[in-house]
Structure 1
Amino acid sequence: MCGRFALYSDLPRLTERLGLPLASRALRPRYNVAPGTWITVVRHPRDDAPLVVDEVWWGYRPHWAKEKAPEPINATVEKVATSPYFRGAFAHHRCLVPVDGWYEWLSVAGKKQPYFLCRQDREPIWLAAIWSERPDGRPGGVILTEPARGVASEIHPRMPLALEAESLEPWLDPHLTDRATLRQVVHHLPADALTYWPVSTRVNTPTHDEASLVEPVAPGA
């Protein structure tokens, strides 16, 4: 799954990768991004609108859903294209969530040890996500997950769907709506591009948000 991540790359670094105009505003570095908060995404607000760096609420509930409908933060790649709850957004409202890495927890000696997973070259990672207008009119998003690959499988059985560079443009293309076509042109980041290390248990508390959270520590620290 993906339930916590960090984004501390500056905005020019992100917009340059997608060929977007340089935005005038700055992003506040965040080292402990939790569900139920606004997260940075790249999306088309409408099919005919240009790409923008925007924010969506990390919690997905379509505007047509009932009041007590679930509000997931993740959706599995196995079901996102066919589930009635997600398939409309999968076809028409795909977006990217930039992260510098994400956290997972592994049981070590009866305790949960947090780990930080990121690219070996420390470049930003682009996670596949979808969004929909929520009942309150605000956009809400969900990050897609897949079975864990490579070193990520040593920490958790699932991982966020991280995309390779050539897949970013087709993933964001609102005119690509066919599931089979998307499978042909969208590919995940190679598993050997990732690495991980143990980090402080301070990350367990969402209000802790400082650069030291992503620094390596001895397990159990």
Structure 2
Amino acid sequence: MCGRFALYSAYPKFATKVGISTVEGEPAPRYNVPPGTWITAIRRMSGDEPPHMDELWWGYKPKWAKGKASQPINARVETVATSGYFKSSFQKHRCLIPADGWYEWDKAASPKQPHFICREDREPIYFAGIYTEREDGSLGCAIITEPARGSAQDIHDRMPLILDDESLEPWLDVDLTDRETLRNVVHHLNAKLITHWPVSTKVNRPSGAGDESLINPA
């Protein structure tokens, strides 16, 4: 799963890779981003427009889902294209959620030990996401997850679906709606690039911000 991540790189570092040339403002780094908060996402409104950055609510609940309907933060890659709750967004409302890494807890340790998981070269990563219009008119999103790969398997059986650089543009292509075509042109990041290390249990307290000490090896 993915229930906490960090985004501290300067926006231009990850924005230019997806064709965003102008970035207004520079939000403060966030080393401990929890669900149920506004997070940075990249999406396209139409095929004629370039990608742009937006703030989406991390929690997916379509406006037609009333009352106590679930508000998941993750969607499984195995079912996201076929589930009645997600499939419309998978077709038409895909987004990228930039991050520098994410946290996962090793349940084999006692007490549970948090780890920070990221690229070995510390380059930003891009989670595959979907979004929907919420009942109040704002947009909410979910991060797609897949079975853990590479060293991430040491910590948890699931991980966010991280896209390689060649997959960023087709993932954002609003005109690309066929599931099989997407499967052929969108690929996850090479698992050999993923690394992790134990960090302080201070990350157990979701703050939404935190500081650099949260990702230092424990």
Q: Given the two structures, how large is their TM-score scaled by the length of structure 1?
A: 0.95
Structure 1, 200-209 or 112-121: larger mean CA deviation: 200-209
Deviations, residues 60-98 of structure 1 (Å, cap 9, x unaligned): 000111221100000000000000000000000000000
Q: Note the 1:142-221 alignment, pairs <5 A.
A: 142-207=142-207, 209-217=210-218
- C-alpha distance in 2 between matches for 1:167 and 1:107: 32
- The 2-side partners of 1:11 and 1:27 are apart by 8
* Shift of residue 50, structure 1, vs aligned partner: 3.3
- Are residues 1:62 and 2:42 paired? no
1:3 alignment partner in structure 2? 3
The amino acid across from 2:203 in the alignment is V
Shift in Å, 1:54: 0.8
2:8·2:100 contact (CA, 8 Å) conserved in 1?
yes
C-alpha deviations, 1:171-218, integer Å up to 9, x for none?
Answer: 00000001000000000000000000000000000126111000101x
Q: 2:82 maps to which residue? A: 82
Answer yes or no: is the 8 Å Cα contact 2:41–2:53 preserved in 1: yes
Poorly superposed stretches of 4+, deviation over 2 Å: 45-50, 107-110
Between the two structures, name the one with larger relative contact order (CA 8 Å, sep ≥ 6): 2
- Helix, strand or coil at the partner of 1:70: coil
The amino acid of 2:141's aligned partner reads: G
Deviations 1:84-122 (A, max 9, x none): 000000000000000000000012442110000000000
Alignment of 1:25-40 (within 5 A): 25-40=25-40
Give the TM-score, by structure 2 length. Answer: 0.97
TM-aligned CA deviation for residue 27 of structure 1? 2.4
Quick one: distance in 1 between partners of 2:17 and 2:109? 41
- 1-structure distance, mates of 2:57, 2:125: 19
Paired position in structure 1 for 2:119? 119
Q: Relative to structure 1, is the Cα distance of residues 25 and 14 closer, same or farther in structure 2, using a 3 angstrom cutoff?
A: same
Listed as ranges, the gaps of 5+ residues in structure 2 are: none
Number of aligned residue pairs: 217
% identity of equivalent residues = 59
Cα distance in 2 for residues equivalent to 1:132 and 1:51: 17
1-side partners of 2:49 and 2:16: how far apart? 19
Q: SS at the partner of 1:105?
A: strand
Residue 139 (structure 1) aligned with residue 148 (structure 2): no
Q: For 2:46 and 2:54, how far apart are their aligned partners in 1? A: 12
CA distance in 1, matches of 2:170, 2:105: 32
Q: Aligned to 1:111, what secondary structure does the other structure show?
A: coil
